[in-house]
């Protein structure tokens, strides 16, 4: 059974809902490994942006554990999710369907940011900010890498 063509775009949007920089970092890693995306990879074709995406992905993982870290639903947090999801969703969409893939990723990331925040806060009350963040990191980073790997391997 063949999965819908834009499913990777929706899934990477879900990843962006929890970690805004993970989709770009996963794509940057794939780019460094010489993998090509089905859709046009905006910005990450340039080495400075590739390095920046990886650095921001790692930085976000550390910053999330700080007591002063803002909620992911503040304006700048949502803006980062929209931008990252849009670029990654477009890159993982089939050639010629980049706009639809980007829009679908954004439409997935934005409302899920509120849902993932609510879930994180619930877990944070039980086990604390650092532990809940590390668990979320493991799940989200694994999901981001898996979605990108799956999307790049399913191209035909």
- What's the CA gap between 148 and 7, in Å, rounded? 11
Model pTM score: 0.91
Average pLDDT over all residues of the chain? 91
Other C-beta atoms closer than 10 Å to the C-beta of 2 total 7
For the stretch 76-115, pLDDT in tens is: 999 999 999 999 999 999 999 999 999 999 999 999 999 9
- Residue 1's pLDDT is what? 44
- What's the CA gap between 104 and 102, in Å, rounded? 5
The answer to whether residues 36 and 91 touch, using CB atoms and an 8 Å cutoff, is no
Which SS3 state, helix, strand or coil, does residue 88 take? helix
The fraction of the chain above a pLDDT of 70, given in percent, is 96
CB-based contacts of 15, cutoff 8 Å, min separation 6:
22, 23, 26, 88, 140, 143, 144, 147
Q: Work out the average pLDDT over 21-48.
A: 88
pLDDT class of 117 with cuts at 50, 70, 90: very high
């Amino acid at each position: 059974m063949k999965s819908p063509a834009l499913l990777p775009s929706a899934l990477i949007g879900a990843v962006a809902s929890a970690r805004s920089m993970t989709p770009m970092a996963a794509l940057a890693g794939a780019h460094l490994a010489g993998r090509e995306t089905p859709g046009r990879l905006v910005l990450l074709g340039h080495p400075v942006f590739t390095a920046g995406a990886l650095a921001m992905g790692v930085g976000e993982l550390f910053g999330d554990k700080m007591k002063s870290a803002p909620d992911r639903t503040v304006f700048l947090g949502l803006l980062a999710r929209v931008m990252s999801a849009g670029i990654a969703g477009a890159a993982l969409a089939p050639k010629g369907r980049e706009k639809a893939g980007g829009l679908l990723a954004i439409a997935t990331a934005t409302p899920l940011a509120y849902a993932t925040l609510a879930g994180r806060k619930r877990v944070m009350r039980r086990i604390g900010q650092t532990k809940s963040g590390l668990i979320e990191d493991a799940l989200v980073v694994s999901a981001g890498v898996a979605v990108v790997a799956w999307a790049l391997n399913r191209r035909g």
